[in-house]
Copies of this chain bind each other. A is one copy, B any other.
């Protein structure tokens, strides 16, 4: 029996419900920034846009909510989540120990083939730095870390790591990759690869941890700088917050105390 499995088109229909497709599409739109943090997602509008009914859209909402990409307020709607700096910091700390585990495991298990692949990525990143191509560098950097995690061989770790990365991408202030700090990050990558290749688990773990924490520090500094910049130029207020958190909710909440007195 040559059980090749069903042909691709059939496999697609077998595994993909509308809910899954909607979920994937919404996730893509959110991660690409097409749907910005704080933006309200209206069931009917999205259902119409995607050509489905509200049911699958609602189910996709529940998945995205559980995944931390949107936030649901009862009777008010679903909003693309906005990750505050506090939470971003927490995620960085968490990612750091996960990366530490990755470093330890890789130093023990990595193959020469894998080493070549990783080295190629680091090379490509250095080329991107020289070319001052921040976008490409950012993509390669994501790929680099994602591959390292994947190679560590812990699927649960990989899944959670990716979830955290997705959430981090909702931390708006991260997007502007101020190009001048790229070379620093690139050097750290060489260090990581070297200690992994040397098979020194503890050293590789520390290198990964340190790298993640540096990344965290850079992000915080970047955020502070950005905040002060925004405070300086009050003349041109930041409009991106529009529709992000309808403060009328607070009004309603406090006024509802009236029910108690009545």
Contacts and interface: CB of A to CB of B under 8 A. Distances in A.
A94 interface: yes
Interface string A243-256: 00000000001101
B101 A93 contact: yes
A253 B14 CA distance: 10
Contacts of A254: 1, 3
Interface residues of A, number: 44
A120 interface: no
Interface hub of A4, A65, A93, A96 (most chain B Cβ within 10 A): A93
Tallying the copies of this chain within the complex gives 2
Interface stretch (A37-45, A111-119, A150-158, A177-185): A150-158
A25 interface: no
A4 B257 contact: yes
Given A90-B155, A155-B87, A160-B160, A6 B62 contact: no
Contacts of A19: 62
B90 A10 contact: no
A-B pairs, top 6 by smallest CB distance, nearest first, are: A66-B66, A90-B156, A62-B62, A97-B101, A97-B97, A59-B62
